[in-house]
Amino acid sequence: MSHAILYVTAPTVKEAEAIAGKLVEEKLAACANVSGGMRSFFRWEDKLQNDDEVSFILKTKKSLIAKATERIQELHSYDCPCVIALPIIGGSEAFLQWIDEETV
């Protein structure tokens, strides 16, 4: 399969929606889903941190992962945003074709 999901976190729904909307608008992703809040625990600058965050996923083509990741990093407020690419290994052929049609 030639498709992927990008999993991304952001500090607020507003920022997640802005980034997700921009990537869909620019055809780097076919669609995005912004989820509700969560609490994230992580080590940053040698200190244990915890913050409220939201996550969102973007459906795209594998060939766009690098460009989409770069664009997310440009738009994101974090110095080191979580952007993880996961392969889509199957699914609705009609939906996967739609991803192809809606992305560059």
Conformational region of residue 91, where left means phi above 0, alpha means psi within -120 to 50, and beta covers everything else? left
Among residues 3, 7, 55, the alpha carbon closest in space to that of 30 is found at: 3
Length of the chain: 104
pLDDT tens per residue, range 70-85: 999 999 999 999 999 9
For the chain, how big is the Rg over CA atoms in Å? 14
Q: pTM, whole model, 2 decimals? A: 0.95
pLDDT tens per residue, range 28-71: 999 999 998 999 999 999 999 999 999 999 999 999 999 999 99
* Full set of structural domains in the chain with CATH: 3-102 (3.30.70.120)
Q: Which residue has the tokens 């030639």?
A: 2
